[in-house]
Amino acid sequence: MKVFTVAEMVSAEKSADAAGHSYDEMMERAGQSLAEAITERVDVTGKNILVLVGPGNNGGDGLVAGRYLAQAGADVAFYLFKPRDAAQDVNFAKIQEMGLFAVDADFDQRHRVLRTRLNISDIVIDGLLGTGVARPIGGDLAQLMRQAATGIAERTDILRTQHDNARVTLTAPHLTKSPSPRPFIVAVDCPSGLNCDTGALDPLALPADLTVTFAGPKRGHFVFPGAAACGELIVADIGIDPALTADVPVTAATPQLMGSLLPFRPKDGHKGTFGFALIAAGSRRYWGAPALAGLGALRAGCGLVALAVPAQLRPSLAMQLPEATYLLIPDAEDLGSASAETLLKHMQRYDALLVGPGLGPDSAEFLHTLFAAPDLPPLVIDADGLNYLAQQAEWWKHIPPGSILTPHPGEMARLVGEGIDDGDRIALALEKSAEWNQIVVLKGAYTVIATPEGEATLIPIATPALAVAGSGDVLAGVIVSLLAQKVSPYNAARLGAYLHARAGLHAAQVIGAAGVLAREIADHIPSTRTALLQGR
């Protein structure tokens, strides 16, 4: 599934039209898919639905969807921001033939009809503006959208009053209450006022419960603050030939794609079959990071995980993670050059190496010695490994090309050497991956994995369950585990990020979005993997 810029989407539609798949056909499929997405979530029989119709193709999609919803038994009305000519607009002509109510905003003094319809609406479809919005909303449309927001708020108050009056609580209320009812807001392609390239959100935008976008998501759907206004995001196929979008560089991770990347596990496999991973981590300041990275690596299916940690940490870690093995590191509190030399003597035994979690600020000699060595195995660099590199001139020349870097935004800013605009995450990851000749896993909501060759995968999962100390250590462990299992570096990075994110979702469903521990994310990796294998 491709993730489009606005220009890429316009180009794809033009190419499809030129190839014989007309705009009218795409609009019909878009509107039908929009209606289907609504009826899959809401029984529309007898429901009052108001479609806010803009002047462009977005409004045309709304007209088509309203027709299908009316055929499904809904009472559908249309509010047109600009007049449409039935002689020129086949979709407007069809709703007139069906006798459906429609009014032009030009003939609605003080928006009285709009407010009246909103006061009885169960579902509101926002088809005012499409993906091409790039400037603030003003003029008559701004007035209409203010009135729409006020009308939706009034309708919400009416429904809330009816809901609250229908029940009386005599005992202590439940900790989790069912939400008060409100109109179900559906955005056509994107909430009106969302910049679909940058994620900027106009103050007048109507936050949606459901957004149905067409052909593929747009970059702005995954950039905050706009991402928060999209609600559930559904992608509908409108019949564009995938060959026409083959050169779009960004892909959204889907369960089908990620499931296909999982390494095969033969029944007669042994621990050597599933790879040996080495993790160099920990310091006198940070004892937990090695355990979390090791747990992530084991939960992701690695055959053997070895921890190279300061001697002082070994007894405690062995009690927490007895499944791992432990190299006899000479340094007691922080890894130094002697520890690096010990690692290098054993390095040929391991299929992949993770460096960085919890190393602390006193590991410069260790990292200098380690990175200067030739023939390192496939490499993941995280946390203090990245912080060390950021202090070196042209640091990317000090590590093997094609290594996997896993920075959060703060670490990314240090690697870049200046402040970054976290809004344009995709472009930043692609630019720096190419410049550094390394695979970049730019963590956050939403995580982006970019390659030097110009490909990128976006992980379409964001949950506060992942926002906990140690979560990144688990992710780094998952990625090095997949590397050790002979998954290619790019696929290990994007599959690892996806498994980690979905495990966070699973943990939140069981425990709650607040209070998930990093080790619990790791514990949900196996069930997440099983779900992917089963196509769920």
Tens digit of each residue's pLDDT, the chain (536 residues): 999 999 999 999 999 999 999 999 999 999 999 999 999 999 999 999 999 999 999 999 999 999 999 999 999 999 999 999 999 999 999 999 999 999 999 999 889 999 999 999 999 999 999 888 888 999 999 999 999 999 999 888 888 776 555 545 455 444 444 445 789 999 999 999 999 999 999 999 999 999 999 999 999 999 999 999 999 999 999 999 999 999 999 999 999 999 999 999 999 999 999 999 999 999 999 999 999 999 999 999 999 999 999 999 999 999 999 999 999 999 999 999 999 999 999 999 999 999 999 999 999 999 999 999 999 999 999 999 999 999 999 999 999 999 999 999 999 999 998 877 766 899 999 999 999 999 999 999 999 999 999 999 999 999 999 999 999 999 999 999 999 999 999 999 999 999 999 999 999 999 998 999 999 999 999 999 999 988 76
Which tokens is 532 given?
A: 């992917």
User: What single-letter amino acid sits at 139?
Assistant: G
Q: Contact at 8 Å (CB) between 214 and 238?
A: yes
pLDDT attached to residue 178: 45
Please give the distance of CA 339 from its chain centroid, rounded to a whole number.
Answer: 39
Which tokens is 347 given?
A: 């390095």
Count how many residues are written for the chain.
536
Starting at the edge strand found earlier in the chain, the sheet holding 439-442 runs: 250-252, 456-458, 448-450, 439-442, 404-405, 379-381, 352-355, 276-280, 304-308, 325-326
245-284 exposure pattern, b = at least 16 Cβ within 10 A, e = fewer: beebbbbbbeeebbbebbbeeeeeeeeeebbbbbbbbbbe
Closest CA to 519 of 317, 289, 365: 289
pLDDT attached to residue 174: 43
Bridge partners of residue 304, in order along the sequence: 276
pLDDT attached to residue 423: 66
3-state secondary structure of 127: strand
pLDDT attached to residue 172: 47
Which tokens is 472 given?
A: 């990144």
pLDDT attached to residue 370: 97
Q: How many CB atoms lie within 10 A of CB 38?
A: 24
Q: All domains of the chain, ordered by start, with CATH?
A: 6-166+175-247 (3.40.50.10260), 269-533 (3.40.1190.20)
pLDDT attached to residue 164: 56
User: What single-letter amino acid sits at 501?
Assistant: A
DSSP string, 474-497: HHHHHHHHHHHTT--HHHHHHHHH
